[in-house]
Structure 1
Amino acid sequence: MKIWKRCAGLVLALACCLGLLSGCGQEAAEGMKLSVCVGSAPQELDPIYATDPVDQTILMHLYENLMRTAVDVSGGTTASSGVAKSVQQEENTDGTVTCTFKLRGTKWSDGQAVTASDFVYAWQRLADPANDSPYASLLSVVVGYDTVRSTGDVTALKVSAKNDSTLVVELNGKYDWFLTVVCTAPATLPVRQDVIENWQTKTAEASDQAEEEPAEPWWEDLSGLVTNGPYQVSGETGEALTLTAAQTYSGTQSGPSELTFRYADTPEEAQSLYENKEVDFVAQVTDDQLTKLVEEESPSLIQELGVYTIFFNCQQDQLADPQVRGALALSLD
């Protein structure tokens, strides 16, 4: 039950994100405000480290990737244009595939242009073993990834900026899911090199002074966060994070003009916010609510691809026989 509940929360959080960002050719709803509760306060807003669905949902509202996830007529997901206005994939004679992304003219929230180099830096940073990102393997299909992981030389990764508006990625094979999975993932979002490097400089200076406390993460000052998505931070308290439609965003903006993420550490707290009409949507479901929904057969279930790993202790006598392990694996299917 608890596992089902957690999955439901994940699906709802991501559905909320996709629903708000799905382009329908309209501008942000003038004066419309939406308050949602998808979980507790964000713990990690560095794209290469964010693992919690709540953090990832916030990130996907603040940043925009090469591609965007859209729902097709059959109810499945597909990739649509994000920062990239087009992509051309060419199969090479050696089996590799060259993907050329043409970027549309987009800007960061401080007015600076988003360039192909921003993606090169972000992807190199993700692949760098020194950063120890749990999502580094997303780029394992990119030529040079193994070299980066073994040597630490991020320039070996075959991701390059032909010019400011052209990003070239060389894959080690043909992968139909590259655009829908890798190019829409929170971990591959663009980040500004100057922002990260300025933070690194301040961190180094602080470490030289023994009495200084360790520097906060580079994204800690949410009010000054430089982003390229449909929303930017306009306010933050201990109870909520408020986003407003970014004036620098040039894509289709079909969500509310103001979006507030209210924090709740438990499903009960989230339900209280909803019952008190402080939020319009909650992603957390209490055990009682979930039981009732399941009994009424009213949940709308969304299929998700998941991978489970089972480790067998082969030193145990009863598991030494591979046929026994095979039978056990089948029984757990």
Structure 2
Amino acid sequence: MKKSKYSLLLILTLVFSLILTACGGNNDASEGENNDNNENATSDVAQEFSMLDSSAIPTMDSVLAEGSTSFTYIGNVGEGLYRLNQEGKPEPAMVEGEPEINEDKTVFTFKLRDAKWSNGEPVTAHDFVFAWQRAIDPKTASPYGPYMMGGKILNAAKITEAGAAGKPYDLNELGVKAIDDKTLEVTLEKPVVYWEDLFAFPSFYPQNQKFVEEKGDAFASSAENLLYNGPFKMTQWEGTDAEEWVLEKNENYWDADNVKIEKITVNVVKDSGSAVNAFEAGETDMTGLLSSDLVPQYEGDERMMSWLDAAVFYLKLNQKNEALANTNIRKAIAMAFNKEDLANGILNNGSVPANYLVPKEFVNLDGVDFREGNGDMLEYNVEEAKKHWEAGLKELGKTELTIRYLGGDTEASKKIDSYMKNQLETNLEGLTIELESVPFAVRLERDNSMDYDIQMAGWGPDYGNAISFIDLWVTNGGSNRMGYSNPKYDELVKKAQGELATQPEENFKAMQEAERILLEEDAGIAPVYQRGANILINPNLKGLVQYQYGPDYSFKWMSVEGE
């Protein structure tokens, strides 16, 4: 994710990300206790529950999705070649057995299992070809397709570049081909060590061409305008403004025998306090992420599930703004706010200060965490921030600046954004921050159009590799959307994804150096914190799986047990 998986942009209640697509240290709902499916305990109990989310679903079109809210529900009603299992590792889903792989590991031949769409039609290799071509087609304007496929699937980048230049392109050149109804051939640009993770991500899910084309503009606009091939199907969802939706077991799902939950009802509650009140009143079985003021009162409570996310939040600094195109101004902003106080005083939920892009406890090489190579960068330092600020103002020929700050409209977002405004205006003389609080979907639109100066954003990884963070900021990258560009950075990312992809030690070093250039040299972004996450969940709910990357949760293995 991201989340915007942008990604991201990733989030159930706490904030505002893009990307995020993701994450946490603990995969199960409560240290393993919530991971059992006890047949006897569940046989006489209604297998349904209710939960809360902090935002409406921006889209249910897997090709157009870019935020963790969309990816989470798409991930529960859909399925790709692979899916993440209960341990958070990719395993075959629509695929039957292991693929045939050529010698240089660039051509994969997958045999599809017998599986059906929710309307009874078979899922075929043609459904994958159609969806992938639609995702990369410049006319579709998919925010995630070019990012997920570019440099990985053969000719994906070529098609994107041709479309951007207004030149003709041939979607049949994309490295995906249906040999027959049950045989899919995928050709990569170069070896990709995390290919299973890649093909588990919702952007690579199939779509039924006949259904999509018959629905036209109405496709994915409501529950009846969608098809499902995953564990659940949506039986109620009235579109992007809906504040309630319902998921029910998909009887046509190939693994339906292992799906116990019959019905899930989701309601939107943006205010964390109201969500907790509903939980305590027995009106819901699961909240979204708790705001910081509520976490301490549930410390040690068996109903609270906690983890350290692999999601990192930061300020995006749009270099279309003349002031933010100045390196000294960016460094000043990045060093002018107290991350420790924010994490411990405002968030107070297990989040930790982030002086980095790639999160801690996410990836390691031979037991050594990625973070140990680079350590901390852009730490809070008011004196250094003031020096950079004065130097930047002098270079710009100004004595003061007014900068727009794009934030979220949730209770938690507003608290954090107000804190950031106060810190920046207090520590950088002559700076005025104009806060703009908007709903998540609006923020995604404005990010895509680069209609902001500073934006609070975040990213949860889309696969279990540091490159999921590092390749965000390549020049003109699909998730960049802030005008950052550094040829040295681009070259390192290119090497990490190319010639060094199968050389773990050199690959790690290249990505660590790229991170150092982005932060220490350029202050391309201003890291803020790595998210700690906490939700309340009914102890009778077992088997909730929370992911470190991709969709936030899977409901496939859940069940309701008796008292």
The bucket for the TM-score relative to the shorter chain is 0.7 to 0.9
2:325 aligns to what? 313
1:135 aligns to what? 144
Question: How many positions carry a matched residue from both structures?
Answer: 300
Given candidates 62, 65, 80, the residue that maps to 1:65 is 80
Give the conservation status (yes or no) of the 8 Å contact 2:244–2:267.
Answer: yes
CA separation in 2, counterparts of 1:273 and 1:154? 49
Assess, with a 3 A threshold, how the Cα gap between structure 1 residues 268 and 48 changes in structure 2: closer, same or farther: farther
Assess, with a 3 A threshold, how the Cα gap between structure 1 residues 236 and 23 changes in structure 2: closer, same or farther: farther
Q: Which residue identity is paired with 2:222?
A: D
CA separation in 2, counterparts of 1:9 and 1:135? 12
1:155 aligns to what? 172
1:119 aligns to what? 128
Establish whether residue 265 from structure 1 lines up as the match of residue 270 from structure 2: yes
Given candidates 43, 50, 59, the residue that maps to 1:44 is 59
CA separation in 1, counterparts of 2:61 and 2:244? 19
Assess, with a 3 A threshold, how the Cα gap between structure 1 residues 113 and 24 changes in structure 2: closer, same or farther: farther
CA separation in 2, counterparts of 1:87 and 1:313? 49
1:188-213 deviation line (CA, Å, top 9, x unaligned):
2111111221133xx5xxxxxxxxxx
CA separation in 1, counterparts of 2:21 and 2:275? 12
Assess, with a 3 A threshold, how the Cα gap between structure 1 residues 228 and 218 changes in structure 2: closer, same or farther: same
Give the conservation status (yes or no) of the 8 Å contact 1:87–1:100.
Answer: no
SS in 2 for 1:129: coil
Give the conservation status (yes or no) of the 8 Å contact 2:83–2:201.
Answer: no
CA separation in 2, counterparts of 1:259 and 1:49? 24
CA separation in 1, counterparts of 2:36 and 2:111? 19
Establish whether residue 246 from structure 1 lines up as the match of residue 250 from structure 2: yes
- Deviation, 1:165, is 0.9
2:281 aligns to what? 276
Give the conservation status (yes or no) of the 8 Å contact 2:117–2:252.
Answer: yes
CA separation in 1, counterparts of 2:73 and 2:253? 16
SS in 1 for 2:127: helix
Q: How does 1:171-190 map to 2 (within 5 A)?
A: 171-180=188-197, 182-190=198-206
1:147-197 deviation line (CA, Å, top 9, x unaligned):
2211442111010011111111001121121211x2111222111111221
Establish whether residue 233 from structure 1 lines up as the match of residue 243 from structure 2: no
> Identity of counterpart residues, as a percentage?
21
TM-score relative to the length of structure 1: 0.75
Which residues of structure 2 form unaligned runs of 5+? 1-10, 163-167, 329-389, 396-485, 487-516, 528-563
Give the conservation status (yes or no) of the 8 Å contact 1:46–1:219.
Answer: yes
Establish whether residue 192 from structure 1 lines up as the match of residue 208 from structure 2: yes
Assess, with a 3 A threshold, how the Cα gap between structure 1 residues 248 and 295 changes in structure 2: closer, same or farther: closer
Given candidates 292, 298, 306, the residue that maps to 1:300 is 306
- Deviation, 1:304, is 1.6
CA separation in 2, counterparts of 1:134 and 1:245? 30
Give the conservation status (yes or no) of the 8 Å contact 1:24–1:254.
Answer: no
Q: Which residue identity is paired with 1:156?
A: E
Assess, with a 3 A threshold, how the Cα gap between structure 1 residues 174 and 9 changes in structure 2: closer, same or farther: closer
1:209 aligns to what? none
SS in 2 for 1:282: coil
Assess, with a 3 A threshold, how the Cα gap between structure 1 residues 15 and 121 changes in structure 2: closer, same or farther: farther
- Deviation, 1:144, is 1.2
1:258-304 deviation line (CA, Å, top 9, x unaligned):
122122233233223212212111123123113556899x8732452
Assess, with a 3 A threshold, how the Cα gap between structure 1 residues 285 and 54 changes in structure 2: closer, same or farther: same
The CA RMSD over aligned residues, in Å, is: 3.9
Q: Which residue identity is paired with 2:49?
A: L
1:96-141 deviation line (CA, Å, top 9, x unaligned):
6111111110000110000010011001111111111111221120
Give the conservation status (yes or no) of the 8 Å contact 1:9–1:285.
Answer: no
CA separation in 2, counterparts of 1:85 and 1:258? 28
Give the conservation status (yes or no) of the 8 Å contact 1:5–1:290.
Answer: no
- Deviation, 1:326, is 4.1
Which residues of structure 1 form unaligned runs of 5+? 204-216
